[in-house]
A and B are shown apart, each in its own frame.
Chain A
């Protein structure tokens, strides 16, 4: 541990801080959830070393959850779905003139939630990876199918559209040279797509361009009639101190969020709602929830932030992302030459531990600076759309171009942006597309390896002991997630 601490670099710490600040900034924009924020910072991340890139991106991911809570508290408008539960008590606190305290309490909840979940990642992921070493291609194939079941729960009201979106992602992923046999498929002699549709431009189009086409009809992000008072330093420091009176809520919400984050499908939104519901049900004064109580802010913020570390456990240990944002993260790791899964822990354990330390630093940043930063970042909601939209379109175009310095990639980004806009309008979840895009090629490789091993006998997926256990777990999680979703009223 001492070795790791002495090897920490100021440069990487700086990227952690920048990532966190960017995450908070992007999270405060309505519609910019974890996946969109990760997509927009991809062009910067791919220019860095693998460690800096991971530190930067995971901190962006963590920051978006807190950023989404800022607008929930100040404007009553969640920046993303995960911030929706924070509105219940955060906005009433602002109306009572306690917006600064609410921001600080949210920051403290995010800090404790994130910190504990990263500790859980450092403790549990190596053990899970050790177990994962027993897996062969058939087990990994079933595990990827397990990951794909996330698609069914991306939008609980439109399960079929979620699955169809995943199929779209897999179909896009099936363009290019077959990764196992090297046969070109649907390439049409276009050299630019021989290795498949470029991942970064596709992601920028799906999440950022499509979001800009959605937002341009808005005049500005802030709603009429909601002009909150500017947060004060006095209120912020008071809120930071008061937050720790509710340590039990922080702890229980963090554990709930970490556990839910590690399950495929049940993401940050469900974690926030369950943490809120649990805090309410275990409170001495449940009737006050919804009127502006501190626990009502701390619980959802700790819940959604602890989801980040939880989601990293299956992503790193088994190579199975538990959410759209984790899938983006995994895609970048693969682009960097890191192969998430048990082998990563055997070959790069020091990298994982160092990464963990930087992530803990990022969590600390939210605790120390989050609420103070929120004082300034919530102003992003006042940026007029005619400025925000063209600037973002240009930024993502340059990001797409920077991927391979090919103008062709801007074209890919635009096509995927238009397609993403159509999908959004017809209510197909974009995170389903990205999960399919990342998991589809993996599923194909493991599938072909498995059936080649068994001379095309498909029973190999149902007869090996670990496969059987995984199928049982998969059904338990799918039905469990469905039950939880109904329980939380989503």
Chain B
């Protein structure tokens, strides 16, 4: 993982901080003293994180050919998590359009089939699981599904 990629999480927080500042800068002091304190501390922590990461990488640099390090730097597989997450966004849309039963059955079935499970087994598992969840939440806990 390169040092540049390490900027991703702090970067998200910086964007959040700027948006937050723009939305609260005209509020009275007592409502902003704590968030402003955070806005001062967080950049300092970002600097410390980068110093620590830089030192770790410098120390590891001489061991780059070590096979143990090869495991640590092996590329991360993002395709499967991306499919699960994209499917979950589809689930959210389907939930609001078609309701819990259709959305839940479709999502579980789609993900199972996509990852290589037999379609018949996927259909049975999806139906049983959706029904069980419906009974627990809608009938036992009286959630309006």
Instruction: Please report A residues at the B interface, Cβ cutoff 8 Å.
Output: 43-44, 47, 158, 160-161, 163-164, 167-168, 170-171, 174-175, 178, 180-181, 183, 185-188, 209, 212-214, 216-217, 384-387, 389-391, 393-395, 397-398, 401-402, 405, 407, 410-411, 414, 417-419, 421-423, 425-426, 428, 443-444, 447-448, 451-452
Tell me, in angstroms, the Cα distance from A193 to B83 when the chains sit together.
28
Chain A residues whose C-beta falls within 8 Å of the C-beta of B13 in the assembled complex:
167-168, 171
Contact with A along B80-122 (1 / 0, CB 8 A): 1100110111011001100010001001101110111100000
Tell me, in angstroms, the Cα distance from A397 to B108 when the chains sit together.
12
Decide if B92 touches A410 in the complex (CB within 8 Å). Answer: yes
Decide if B104 touches A426 in the complex (CB within 8 Å). Answer: no
Decide if A389 touches B24 in the complex (CB within 8 Å). Answer: no
Decide if A386 touches B133 in the complex (CB within 8 Å). Answer: no
Write 6 A-B pairs (CB below 8 A) sorted by A numbering. A174-B34, A386-B115, A398-B133, A402-B137, A410-B95, A419-B12
Tell me, in angstroms, the Cα distance from A17 to B5 when the chains sit together.
46
Instruction: Please report B residues at the A interface, Cβ cutoff 8 Å.
Output: 1, 5-6, 8-10, 12-13, 16-17, 19-20, 23-24, 27-28, 30-35, 38, 41-42, 45-46, 48-49, 52, 76-77, 80-81, 84-85, 87-89, 91-92, 95-96, 100, 104, 107-108, 110-112, 114-117, 125, 129-130, 133, 137, 141-145
Q: A160-B49, A414-B88, A451-B33 are in contact. List 5 more A-B contacts (CB 8 A).
A: A174-B38, A390-B111, A397-B88, A447-B33, A448-B30
Select which of A43, A185, A384, A394 is within 8 A of B130 by beta carbon.
Answer: A394
Chain B residues whose C-beta falls within 8 Å of the C-beta of A390 in the assembled complex:
84, 87, 107-108, 110-112
Which residue from chain B places its CB closest to the CB of A384 in the assembled complex? Answer: B117
Select which of A209, A212, A405 is within 8 A of B143 by beta carbon.
Answer: A405
Tell me, in angstroms, the Cα distance from A181 to B35 when the chains sit together.
14
Decide if A393 touches B129 in the complex (CB within 8 Å). Answer: no
Given contacts A394-B133, A414-B85, A452-B30, whether A161 and B49 have CB atoms under 8 Å apart is yes
CB distance from A195 to the nearest CB of B (A): 15
Count chain A CB atoms within 10 A of each CB in B5, B6, B24 and give the residue with the most.
B24
CB distance from A154 to the nearest CB of B (A): 14
Given contacts A181-B31, A186-B24, A398-B145, whether A411 and B48 have CB atoms under 8 Å apart is no
- Nearest 3 CB-CB pairs, A to B? A386-B115, A390-B111, A213-B81
CB distance from B103 to the nearest CB of A (A): 8
Decide if B76 touches A425 in the complex (CB within 8 Å). Answer: yes
Given contacts A171-B17, A213-B84, A386-B116, whether A402 and B141 have CB atoms under 8 Å apart is yes
Which residue from chain A places its CB closest to the CB of B126 in the assembled complex? Answer: A390
Chain B residues whose C-beta falls within 8 Å of the C-beta of A213 in the assembled complex:
81, 84-85
If over half of A's interface residues share one DSSP class (helix, strand or loop), that class is named, otherwise mixed; here it is helix
Decide if B85 touches A418 in the complex (CB within 8 Å). Answer: yes
Tell me, in angstroms, the Cα distance from A390 to B105 when the chains sit together.
10
Tell me, in angstroms, the Cα distance from A378 to B54 when the chains sit together.
42
Select which of B1, B111, B112, B114 is within 8 A of A426 by beta carbon.
Answer: B1
Decide if B45 touches A163 in the complex (CB within 8 Å). Answer: yes
Tell me, in angstroms, the Cα distance from A394 to B110 when the chains sit together.
12
Chain A residues whose C-beta falls within 8 Å of the C-beta of B116 in the assembled complex:
386
CB distance from B145 to the nearest CB of A (A): 7
Decide if A394 touches B108 in the complex (CB within 8 Å). Answer: yes
Select which of B33, B46, B77, B91 is within 8 A of A397 by beta carbon.
Answer: B91
Select which of A407, A428, A451 is within 8 A of B9 by beta carbon.
Answer: A428
Tell me, in angstroms, the Cα distance from A350 to B50 when the chains sit together.
51
Decide if B34 touches A47 in the complex (CB within 8 Å). Answer: no
Given contacts A397-B95, A402-B137, whether A164 and B33 have CB atoms under 8 Å apart is no
Decide if B17 touches A389 in the complex (CB within 8 Å). Answer: no
Tell me, in angstroms, the Cα distance from A401 to B8 when the chains sit together.
29
Count chain A CB atoms within 10 A of each CB in B20, B28, B35 and give the residue with the most.
B35
Decide if A167 touches B42 in the complex (CB within 8 Å). Answer: yes
Tell me, in angstroms, the Cα distance from A444 to B31 when the chains sit together.
9
Chain B residues whose C-beta falls within 8 Å of the C-beta of A452 in the assembled complex:
30
Select which of A181, A214, A414 is within 8 A of B92 by beta carbon.
Answer: A414
Tell me, in angstroms, the Cα distance from A410 to B100 when the chains sit together.
12
CB distance from B88 to the nearest CB of A (A): 6
Chain A residues whose C-beta falls within 8 Å of the C-beta of B114 in the assembled complex:
386
Select which of B34, B35, B48, B77 is within 8 A of A160 by beta carbon.
Answer: B48
Tell me, in angstroms, the Cα distance from A10 to B137 when the chains sit together.
22
Select which of B84, B108, B141 is within 8 A of A212 by beta carbon.
Answer: B84
Decide if A164 touches B34 in the complex (CB within 8 Å). Answer: no
Which residue from chain A places its CB closest to the CB of B80 in the assembled complex? Answer: A216
Tell me, in angstroms, the Cα distance from A425 to B33 when the chains sit together.
32
Given contacts A212-B84, A421-B81, whether A183 and B92 have CB atoms under 8 Å apart is no
Select which of B23, B88, B100 is within 8 A of A185 by beta carbon.
Answer: B23
Decide if B80 touches A401 in the complex (CB within 8 Å). Answer: no
Which residue from chain A places its CB closest to the CB of B97 in the assembled complex? Answer: A407
